[in-house]
C-alpha cells in the first residue's frame, strides 16, 4: 500500500551529471553553465592519455572541451 507514496520520492532522485547540477536544483541563484566540472575535465584528459588510439579513432582532442 505504500508504493504510491514512494513513487514521487523515486521520481525526484535522478542521477546528476555533477555536484553543481545538484546544487542548482536547490539553490536557484546558481547557474550551472557558469561553472566547470574540473573532475570531468581531468577524467577526460586521463582517458585520452590511457587510450590514445581510441581517442584518435573517435576524433577527440586533448584540448579543453
Residue range 21-52, pLDDT digits in tens = 888 888 889 888 888 778 888 889 999 999 99
Please name which of 64, 59, 58 lies closest in space to residue 45, comparing C-alpha atoms. Answer: 64
What does the pLDDT average to over 12-19? Answer: 64
Q: How much is the pLDDT for 28? A: 87
Domain boundaries defined on the chain: 3-58
Please name which of 9, 8, 33, 10 lies closest in space to residue 20, comparing C-alpha atoms. Answer: 33
Contact between residue 20 and residue 40 where contact means Cβ atoms under 8 Å apart: no
Amino acid at each position: 500500500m505504500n508504493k504510491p507514496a514512494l513513487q514521487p520520492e523515486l521520481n525526484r532522485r535522478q542521477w546528476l551529471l555533477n555536484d553543481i547540477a545538484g546544487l542548482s536544483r536547490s539553490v536557484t541563484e546558481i547557474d550551472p553553465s557558469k561553472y566547470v566540472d574540473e573532475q570531468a575535465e581531468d577524467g577526460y584528459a586521463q582517458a585520452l592519455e590511457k587510450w590514445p588510439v581510441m581517442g584518435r579513432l573517435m576524433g577527440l582532442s586533448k584540448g579543453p572541451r
